[in-house]
Amino acid sequence: MNKDQVWKLFTLTNDNGMTVEFMNYGCIITKIQVPNKYGNFENVVLGFEDYQDYRADSFYLGALIGRVAGRIKGASFQLNGKTYTLDANDGDSCLHGGSIGLNQIVWEANPFQDNNRVGVHLCYQCVDGEAGFPGSVRIQVTYSLDNANQFTIQYKAETDQTTPLALTNHSYFNLSGDLKKTIHNHHLVLDSNRFAELDDTMLPTGMLQHVEGTSFDFRKGRELGQGLNDRSWQNQVANNGYDHYFIFNHKLVHQVVMKDFDSGRVLTIKTNEPGVVMYTSNTLTDGLRFAEGISRQYLGVCFETQASPASLHHEGFPSAILQAGETYDKQTIFTFSVEE
Ligand code: FUC
């Protein structure tokens, strides 16, 4: 456990002037400043103006979420013949690790620098039974930035008892810069053939749907706005937008490529995770004070690269179980560039 409860803010800066700012509290990313096609640096993630607002943030802005990101049905699961009960903090479900998740913990932070990158190791030791999950789990999350404008999040963990673990980051990206506009015109390529169908309580039904012929087909690229407005049943159950788990094909070099043509900014994501929850801030309320303006629906898009909590109740979903003695070793690389 980290004895130091003081909140600290870190800024990683590379030779190009790109910066990534985050706290040891919840490993929360508060700002990412990258240039547009004219060389102007602006922030491309949602973050509060007043950092105290992160304390009770039900939107998980920029946070490290877990132990299990996403919804666990009935806030319970069975493992090796035992039933475990978790906090029901989202209707009957357990969302993003329960009412005290990893996003509300002060992590031990150790900065480092090597030839190619600067970074911070963020460490936390989960206690057996914490938030209802079994196992004492030692987690090390490393944030690093290199001179190719690559921001890497590496997750390493070990547990003394077999347990579910699905860590991810909940940053809301908006490539327009400083919240100039919503994400409707962001153009997205997603390397996925199948997504998890949701029921009207936002839980996976257990069915995987093929994307072909739907607004979930981003294989050849489409603007997000086409799907936000299409009134399909699946987008309506998710409060008129995307809040779905896509399984990656892992056929392309990058699993996600998102462009904003006005600013010229491009974000690519490469990961060894089996899939991603894409959440288009459908339920983001109006009126929150962000660093560059006021919140509204569709102001950002999250790419929560992760294993699936639905695997705890259904067959055919990527497993979120970490075996005792096994090393959890995942990484997601966010690269920022510009195109004319
Ligand atoms: C996302 C979603 C949820 C939720 C939230 C803030 O990951 O899956 O529906 O509203 O985070």
pLDDT in tens, 281-321: 999 999 999 999 999 999 999 999 999 999 999 999 999 99
pLDDT score at 189:
98
Confidence at 1, pLDDT banded by 50, 70, 90: very low
Average pLDDT over residues 84-88: 97
Reported pTM: 0.97
- Alpha-carbon Rg for the chain, nearest whole angstrom, is 19
Instruction: Give catalytic status of residue 186 as yes or no.
Output: no
DSSP 311: G
Is residue 170 annotated as part of the catalytic site, yes or no?
yes
Using CA positions, which residue lies closest to atom 5 of ligand 1? Answer: 59
Which residue among the candidates 42, 158, 170, 273 is catalytic per the annotation? 170
Query: Is 242's C-beta closer than 6 angstroms to any atom of ligand 1?
Result: no
pLDDT at residue 117 is higher than 70: yes
- Average per-residue pLDDT for the chain: 97
- On the question of pLDDT at 147 being above 50, the answer is yes
Q: pLDDT tens, 215-268?
A: 999 999 999 999 998 999 999 999 999 999 999 999 999 999 999 999 999 999
Percent of the chain with pLDDT over 70: 99
Alpha-carbon gap, residue 185 to 75, rounded angstroms:
36
CA-closest candidate to residue 192, choices 203, 208, 204, 205 = 208
* Residue bearing the CA closest to ligand 1, atom 1: 279
pLDDT for the residue numbered 115: 86
In whole angstroms, give the CA distance from residue 225 to residue 115.
Answer: 41
pLDDT in tens, 202-216: 999 999 999 999 999
Distance 59 CA to ligand 1 centre (A): 7
Q: Give the 3-state secondary structure of residue 278.
A: strand
243 lines ligand 1 (CB under 6 A): yes
Distance CA 142, CA 109 (A): 9
Q: Tell me, what's the pLDDT at 206?
A: 98
Which atom of ligand 1 is nearest to 238's Cα?
9
Residue 90 Cβ contacting ligand 1 at under 6 Å: no
pLDDT at 4: 66
Burial of 106 (0-12, 13-18, 19+ CB in 10 A): buried
- Rounded Cα–Cα distance for residues 132 and 141 (Å): 22
* Ligand 1, atom 4, residue with closest C-alpha: 59
